[in-house]
Amino acid sequence: MRVLVTGGGGYIGSVMCEMLLDQGFKVTVLDRFFFGQEALDHVKDRIRIVRDDVRWVPSSIMNGVDAVIDMAAMSNDPAGELNPQKTFEINYKGRTRIANMAKKHKVGRYVLASSCSVYGFKKEIVTEETPPNPLTAYSKANAMWERHVLPLADRNFCVTALRQSSVYGPSSRMRFDISLNAMTLKLFRGEKLQVMRDGTQKRPVIHIKDTSNAFITVLKADQDLVNGEIFNAGSNDQNLKIFDIAKLVAESNGKKFDYEWYGSPDYRSYTVSFDKIRKVLGYKTKHTPQQGAREMFKALEGGKVISDERSVTLLWYKKLYEMSDIVDNVRLKGKIL
Ligand SMILES: NC(=O)c1ccc[n+]([C@@H]2O[C@H](COP(=O)([O-])OP(=O)(O)OC[C@H]3O[C@@H](n4cnc5c(N)ncnc54)[C@H](O)[C@@H]3O)[C@@H](O)[C@H]2O)c1
């Protein structure tokens, strides 16, 4: 089966591509490579790479493709707020375009890389049935994308949305703007861990290999189980308060827990039920945040991951916007390497 991974050069994609290859899938990556292409160096000889944009890539990209994992995006809330119009253009319109092209070209499966952030703020435990409450341009685009793409599902086009938890763990396109990773970096530098006020806000978290495996589980699942369905991807025991994430990062590395507050109170908070993915697909996570924090620390110690100007997504996109890389809509020539 050939899988087209849009955004495959990103934080999750560069880990997922290797896992797909190891399980016998053929892989094509479509990416603008806003963060550079080096993240795919470890697999570049085994995949097809197309450098282009989901907003205007020619539909021939779908030739020979059996499944799409659609991940290209302005990939977090603050980056999405830099230019909400561009966020909608890419995250909603661009990816909806990919879904429509896939259906037209008789691609059998399409998986949306959505996010639990569509729940916004909820006091009760949320399930896939809970109406979304998106609070930012990023999560509004995700909710709209789900609403418009899921109805494309039919007997010949299997569509599934995976609402991912906040991801942690090492990758060759490192992101230090996600809570557990950012806190481990601070710990590694011997600095105080920064906890966003007031620390009681809850997030589900998931290891990067577990979230990648959720996509692979969907690709392998019986079509009747996943067609037109939404699944939260994560595990019930990884719904954590931000303060507790900071604490476990220090404690699991045997270090003193020293922290400072930052920011104004964060209104995004939700506790998510992951019963459906476990019951319907038998999916279970294999990694814990404690292991993830140790793994991240070791990766930093061993120089396997580095913090550079590209590893904070918001700051890097801010720079790209200033350089007009996105704003000018400069068309890149699709190139098969
Ligand atoms: N990392 C998380 O914690 C998390 C949680 C929930 C959902 N998600 C979603 O998962 C997906 C992958 O996230 P990630 O952490 O790997 O993000 P990332 O920013 O590392 O990767 C996104 C990739 O998409 C590419 N891209 C952006 N706009 C594009 C365009 N117009 N055309 C082609 N390529 C484009 C970028 O170059 C980048 O390589 C995103 O959709 C994100 O919203 C991520």
pLDDT digits 0-9 by tens, 227-267 = 999 999 999 999 999 999 999 999 999 999 999 998 888 77
CA distance 11 to 16: 9
- Residue 257 alpha carbon to ligand 1 centre in Å: 31
* Complete DSSP assignment for 239-286: EEEHHHHHHHHHHHTT----EEEESSPP--EEEE--HHHHHHH-----
The reported pLDDT for the residue numbered 333 is 43
Q: How confident is the model at residue 325 (pLDDT cuts 50, 70, 90)?
A: low
- Residue 253 alpha carbon to ligand 1 centre in Å: 29
> What is the best residue among 71, 136, 327 to mutate for testing ligand 1's pocket, by most ligand atoms within 8 Å of CB?
71
Domains and CATH numbers, the chain: 2-174+206-237+271-286 (3.40.50.720)
Which numbered atom of ligand 1 lies nearest the CA of 166? 3
The reported pLDDT for the residue numbered 324 is 64
Q: What is the mean pLDDT of residues 60-74?
A: 98
pLDDT at 36 > cutoff 90: yes
The reported pLDDT for the residue numbered 332 is 46
The reported pLDDT for the residue numbered 264 is 83
pLDDT at 331 > cutoff 80: no
Percent of the chain with pLDDT over 90: 88
For 163, 184, 266, 276, the CA distances from 131, given in Å and listed in that order, are: 13, 34, 21, 16
Q: How confident is the model at residue 121 (pLDDT cuts 50, 70, 90)?
A: confident
pLDDT at 151 > cutoff 60: yes
CB atoms within 10 A of CB 234: 29
- Residue 12 alpha carbon to ligand 1 centre in Å: 8
Q: What is the mean pLDDT of residues 1-7?
A: 98
Which of the pair, 315 or 266, is modelled with greater confidence?
Answer: 315
Q: Of 11-25, 126-140, 157-171, 321-335, where does mean pLDDT reach its minimum?
A: 321-335
In this prediction the pTM is: 0.95
Nearby residues of 140 by Cβ (< 8 Å), 6 or more positions away: 88, 134
CA distance 208 to 18: 12
Q: Which residues line ligand 1 (CB under 6 A)?
A: 7, 9-13, 31-35, 53-55, 71-73, 75, 90, 94, 113, 115, 164, 166-167, 173, 175, 178, 313
